[in-house]
């Protein structure tokens, strides 16, 4: 990923409405689902560490995985108690033994270019989770919203909720909550994506657009966070939104019977 993107994200993610509201929404969804604090939590593709405090509220021990040494260096400044691991999420089975975690979070990671196979990665997460463990993921939604900003973030695609749910279920999970989110931003994002495709902007060099990675004026920042907070309450109660620029899925590992004649590993 663009190093400047990492650094700018690290500077703003504790105060920017988008990051704050998404963390609050994830927290509400976990609490509404009755998730009991305990065990180990893994933030897969932790980036600059802005979501590690969220895991700390729900887990006794926090593990952060990222392939970027710079990301982990930034994450260490935000959450020094987390176990930071530099590694490839495509090879979870080589990094963690089965049943290592009670909670795994994936915040806008599957859509990255360096993820080789989303289905294989989700299956690896299922093996890394304990029986009954939770997976909470968010990803960018709707391919028609793909923009230059996604390319700066090393994104290669966006998802529809239906296809994401299919992938999650095929990996052995039972879906507990699922919805699009950030509905008010859908039309502006659609217009921006259409404008970029009709201009040379989309093919421009992949530099960080500071305007998109800056914090709005305080009243606007608070208003946008509050608006997305209403969505978080609705989704936490099991509601769904028909559109949005992102999607959220909370799923639980379904128990797998041990093969006949095989001892069950403790």
Q: Cα Rg for the chain, rounded, in angstroms?
A: 18
Q: Which of 60-64, 68-72, 131-135, 146-150 has the lowest mean pLDDT?
A: 146-150
pLDDT for residue 118 is more than 70:
yes
pLDDT for residue 116 is more than 50:
yes
- Compute the average pLDDT of residues 209-213: 61
Write out the DSSP string of 20-42. Answer: HHHHHHHHHHHHHTTPPP-SEEE
Residues 79/64, Cβ–Cβ less than 8 Å: yes
* Residue of 177, 186, 141 lying closest to 159 (CA atoms): 141
- Round to whole Å and give the CA distance between 187 and 210: 21
- The CATH number assigned to the domain with range 3-252 reads 3.40.50.150
* Dihedral angle sign, alpha carbons of residues 46, 51, 57, 58: negative
pTM above 0.85, yes or no: yes
How many degrees, rounded to 5, is the angle at CA 135 between CA 133 and CA 137? 170
Give the whole-number percent of the chain exceeding pLDDT 70: 90
Q: Higher model confidence: residue 137 or residue 254? A: 137
- Compute the average pLDDT of residues 68-83: 91
- Compute the average pLDDT of residues 218-222: 96
pLDDT for residue 262 is more than 80:
no
Residues 43/76, Cβ–Cβ less than 8 Å: no
Q: Higher model confidence: residue 214 or residue 224? A: 224
* Residue of 84, 108, 162, 98 lying closest to 133 (CA atoms): 98
Return the domain boundaries, the chain: 3-252
- Round to whole Å and give the CA distance between 157 and 219: 33
Residue 243 confidence class, pLDDT cut points 50, 70, 90: very high
> What pLDDT, on a 0 to 100 scale, did the predictor assign at position 202?
52
Residue-wise pLDDT tens digits, 144-177: 999 888 887 888 999 999 999 999 999 999 999 9
Q: Which of 64-73, 91-100, 211-220 has the lowest mean pLDDT?
A: 211-220
The structure tokens 């028909």 sit at: 242
The structure tokens 């990222």 sit at: 66
């Amino acid at each position: 990923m663009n190093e400047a993107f990492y650094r700018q994200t690290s500077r703003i993610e504790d105060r920017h409405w988008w990051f704050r509201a998404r963390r609050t929404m994830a927290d509400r969804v976990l609490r509404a689902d009755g998730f009991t604090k305990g065990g180990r939590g893994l933030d897969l593709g932790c980036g600059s560490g802005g979501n590690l405090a969220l895991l700390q509220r729900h887990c006794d021990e926090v593990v952060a995985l990222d392939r970027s040494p710079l990301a982990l260096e930034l994450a260490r400044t935000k959450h020094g108690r987390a176990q930071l691991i530099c590694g490839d999420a495509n090879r979870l089975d080589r990094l963690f033994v089965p049943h290592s975690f009670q909670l795994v979070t994936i915040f806008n990671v599957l859509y990255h270019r360096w993820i080789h196979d989303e289905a294989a990665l989700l299956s690896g997460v299922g093996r890394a989770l304990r029986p009954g463990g939770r997976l909470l993921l968010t990803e960018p939604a709707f391919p028609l919203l793909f923009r230059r900003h996604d390319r700066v973030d090393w994104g290669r695609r966006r998802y529809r909720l239906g296809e994401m749910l299919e992938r999650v279920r095929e990996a052995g999970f039972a879906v507990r909550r699922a919805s699009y989110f950030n509905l008010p931003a859908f039309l502006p994002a659609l217009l921006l994506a259409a404008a970029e495709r009709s201009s040379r902007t989309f093919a421009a060099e992949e530099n960080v657009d500071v305007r998109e990675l800056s914090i709005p004026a305080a009243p606007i920042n608070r208003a946008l966070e509050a608006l997305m907070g209403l969505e978080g309450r609705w989704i936490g109660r099991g509601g769904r939104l028909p559109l949005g620029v992102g999607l959220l899925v909370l799923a639980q590992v379904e128990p797998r019977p041990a093969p006949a004649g095989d001892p069950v590993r403790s």
